[in-house]
């Protein structure tokens, strides 16, 4: 209330920032994006040449890493160039999904200080209007306008700083996931190109 009507959009931004941060923390967990041991399990399939359509379909639904590995397995017979193209196509979709809402979070980090500045300007305008009506000797009206301006400025910064920090953190986290998934894809390609293990003769 001390910040006046300029606090309303800042409060809305704070709610959106909190919702996006909670959702991204939940979605970008490592066991959701790149489950531990999944790459090694798929490489065992590659070594044993145990590729079945149902297994690939199930793999694709497990995680973003599973989508990439399934894309490799679906075009494994078409050569390394075709595999590379498929990985790039699937990788763009996976990274787009991982970066969901981050543009919004960055926008909120950008506009929150501007909304605080808008509230500051409104507070100063009210202060000068009060000075025109009541004169500069009425300290109550002057203090009210200055207080409204300062509260809006502080509120906008309190929303913008955490939003910017979390935006950079999530971008860094997604980049590390991308490197890890690329490493798993390369390991799978190497495993598929390795000669098949000879089967032991029946006793």
Q: What is the DSSP string of 72-91?
A: HHHTGGG-HHHHHHHHHHHH
The residue behind tokens 């590659």 is: 46
User: What is the full per-residue pLDDT of the chain (203 aa) written as tens digits?
Assistant: 555 666 888 889 999 999 999 999 999 999 999 888 888 888 887 777 666 777 788 888 889 999 998 888 888 777 777 888 888 888 899 999 999 999 999 999 999 999 888 888 877 777 777 666 666 555 565 565 676 777 888 888 999 999 999 999 999 999 999 999 989 988 888 887 765 555 444 44
> What pTM was estimated for this model as a whole?
0.80
Buried b (16+ CB within 10 A) or exposed e, 15-36: ebbeebbeebeeebeeeebbee
Per-residue model confidence (pLDDT) at position 140? 60
Residues 6+ apart with CB under 8 A from 60: 66, 67, 70, 71
Q: How far is CA 20 from CA 15, 119, 121, 123, in A?
A: 9, 24, 29, 30
Buried b (16+ CB within 10 A) or exposed e, 115-143: bbbbbbebbeebbeebeeeeeeeeeebbe
Per-residue model confidence (pLDDT) at position 49? 66
Burial of 95 (0-12, 13-18, 19+ CB in 10 A): middle
The residue behind tokens 């970066």 is: 99
What are the structure tokens assigned to 46, written together? 């590659």
What are the structure tokens assigned to 41, written together? 């399990």
């Amino acid at each position: 209330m001390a910040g006046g009507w300029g606090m309303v959009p800042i409060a809305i931004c704070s709610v959106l920032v909190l919702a996006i941060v909670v959702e991204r923390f939940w979605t970008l967990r490592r066991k959701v994006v790149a489950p531990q041991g999944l790459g090694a399990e798929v490489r065992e399939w590659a070594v044993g040449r145990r590729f079945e359509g149902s297994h690939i379909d199930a793999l694709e639904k497990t995680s973003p890493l599973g989508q990439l590995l399934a894309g490799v397995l679906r075009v494994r017979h078409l050569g390394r160039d075709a595999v590379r193209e498929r990985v790039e196509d699937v990788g763009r979709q996976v990274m787009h999904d991982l970066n969901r809402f981050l543009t919004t979070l960055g926008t909120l980090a950008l506009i929150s200080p501007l909304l605080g500045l808008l509230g500051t300007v409104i507070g100063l305008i009210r202060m000068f209007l009060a000075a025109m009506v009541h004169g500069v000797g009425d300290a109550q009206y002057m203090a009210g306008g200055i207080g409204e301006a300062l509260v809006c400025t502080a509120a906008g910064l309190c929303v913008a700083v955490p939003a910017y920090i979390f935006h950079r953190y999530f971008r860094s986290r997604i980049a590390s996931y991308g490197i890890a998934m690329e490493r798993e894809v390369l390991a799978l390609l190497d495993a598929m190109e390795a000669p098949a293990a000879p089967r032991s003769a029946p006793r």
